Amino acid sequence: MTIAKTAASGGTGLHPEVLAFTSSLALDRALLQEDLVGSLAHLTMLSRTRLIPSEDARALREQLVAIWKAAKAGTLVLADEEDVHMAVEAELTRVLGERAGLLHTARSRNDQVALDLRLHVREKVADALDVLATLLEGLAARAEAERTTLLPSYTHRQRAQPITLAYQLCGYGAMFSRDVDALGFVLQGVAALPLGVGAIGGTSLPIDREVTRELLRFSRVTMNGLDTVGDRDFALDFAYAAMRSLLHASRVATDFFDFSSPEFGFVKLDGEIACGSSMMPQKRNPDVFELIRGKAGRAVGNLTNLAVLVKGLPGGYNRDLQEDRQVLLETGPLLTSVLSMLHLALGKVHFDRERCLAAVESDYMQATDVAEALAMKGIPFRTAYKATGALVRACQEKGLPLAQVTLELAQSVDPRFDAEVLKSADPRLAVERKANAGGTGPASVEKQLVELKSHAARARELARAVPRLASLFDALQEAAL
């Protein structure tokens, strides 16, 4: 490793090992696009406020654009510096000499990195929202095709009540819909422009933060610089929203590797998503779902890591904050890759409708419906519950599933059972009769489908409204100076 050349990186010669220890370049070069877009906006503001001459601004802009293009082409070589911000400055200096120093007028790396990270989160949230929309659309379409497929629902991982597969899928959709809302909240949090507060207390130069805000399309500017440079709430919010979404994904994954085991036998994994064993030739393992569950753990670690990093930090900027890089930069790709894989995998599981139905018909999951039918006749629910419990035990002794109970047997248990009440032992009726909001009945499921689709549309809309780095770059290249 060579010795950093720029003054901020220890112009007098930072010890190579110190530079290596303190440098974040290996990680934060991933923020190069964010950094260049931020610098282009800052430069434009400096020129418009006449803080720097427009010819210099033009020359600097040309070089910033050249760095962007070289990075795209894979030809950019950045010098060993403390971070991407200094590496860009070093590159500008290499080409422009002293003039390059004009760019850092009224700016600190403290507000610069706060900007880069916000731009990054905004971009990654937009990516994640697009993937969430695709996932929700997929779940809704699948649910529409499975409106009449019956399968057991589970509480305590024991069979509970008959439901439709559409209802099960809408249940997953409900979780991911909340993730759309959570990411919407993250976007509101990152909508404040940090740039312009300098190192902590502002600048005595007559900058105009409103110009930068508009150029970068933030909706407001941050209120207080001391807070701004030390604030990583937006990162915590993103890490939390991502973690929660991945917790959701992990729960769906568990259902699917359970359902694909012969013990459940509800789904078959397409060969494209089933992994083999190196030793057992018969195996078709649900590794994809297991890894979705496993990767969720990383998101939990990332959130914990950030929270511990911020805990007890004094006000203002502290170098500890540079340690946010690893976890924050991992969050976006982790979230989108897991959600995309979940979408792909769900498209490649085949439900065995017969086996799902057989599981429902061979069981006693309609017992609550029978008890409720009795209660409808004016019998107190607890009494109806006990009578139905006795009926279930009588059926079990005879090896009869509840759907096959006879009137004779039922009346021998309790004379208040009649033909009408026993109809509710039909699993299909048990589902159809659940008319209340939030239940598995058909009308309720239709409403849930509408809800899923509207959340998918909302996710697309939120994602579309995010100003993307590439389009900001295009606009800034041509902005009036």
Task: State the DSSP H helix or E strand holding residue 39, giving kind and residue range, or none if neither.
Answer: helix 32-48
Task: State the DSSP H helix or E strand holding residue 151, giving kind and residue range, or none if neither.
Answer: strand 150-155
Neighbour-count burial of 75, counting CB atoms closer than 10 A to its CB (0-12 exposed, 13-18 middle, 19+ buried): exposed
Closest by CA position to 479, among listed 35, 32, 37: 37
- Find the DSSP H helices in 146-224: 165-189, 209-216
Specify whether 156 is catalytic. Answer: yes
- Measured CA to CA in angstroms, residue 45 lies from 32, 51, 103, 190, 213 at distances of 20, 8, 10, 21, 10
Min dist CB 114 to ligand ARG, Å, is 9
Query: Using CB under 6 A, which of 103, 113, 151, 463 touches ligand ARG?
Result: 113
* C-beta closer to ligand ARG: residue 117 or 403: 117
Residue with tokens 């760095």: 67
Separation of alpha carbons 19 and 4, rounded Å: 7
* C-beta closer to ligand ARG: residue 320 or 420: 320
Query: Using CB under 6 A, which of 83, 91, 137, 237 touches ligand ARG?
Result: 83
DSSP 232: -
Closest by CA position to 231, among listed 125, 306, 128, 332: 306
Please, are residues 230 and 321 in contact by the beta-carbon 8 Å criterion? yes
Min dist CB 124 to ligand ARG, Å, is 17
Min dist CB 200 to ligand ARG, Å, is 10
Number of residues that bind ligand ARG (CB under 6 A): 11
- Binding segment (CB under 6 A) for ligand ARG, from list 216-224, 241-249, 281-289, 319-327: 319-327
Separation of alpha carbons 139 and 156, rounded Å: 24
Specify whether 471 is catalytic. Answer: no
Binding to ligand ARG by residue 82, rule CB under 6 A? yes
What is the token pair recorded at 91?
A: 């590159």
Using CB under 6 A, which residues numbered 20 to 49 contact ligand ARG?
A: 24, 28
Interface map 91-110 toward ligand ARG (x if CB under 6 A): ------------------xx
Q: 219, 261, 277, 337: which is the annotated catalytic residue? A: 277
Q: Strand locations in 33-109, DSSP E?
A: none
* C-beta closer to ligand ARG: residue 115 or 140: 115
Min dist CB 23 to ligand ARG, Å, is 8
Query: Using CB under 6 A, which of 67, 288, 321, 339 touches ligand ARG?
Result: 321
- Measured CA to CA in angstroms, residue 446 lies from 140, 210, 388 at distances of 10, 47, 31
Binding to ligand ARG by residue 6, rule CB under 6 A? no
- Binding segment (CB under 6 A) for ligand ARG, from list 13-21, 315-323, 344-352, 387-395: 315-323
Interface map 384-423 toward ligand ARG (x if CB under 6 A): ----------------------------------------
Residue with tokens 């959570």: 182
Min dist CB 129 to ligand ARG, Å, is 26
Concatenating the DSSP letter of every residue in 443-462 gives HHHHHHHHHHHHHHHHHHHH
Catalytic residues: 156, 277
Contacts with ligand ARG, residue ranges (CB under 6 A): 24, 28, 82-83, 109-110, 113, 317, 319, 321-322
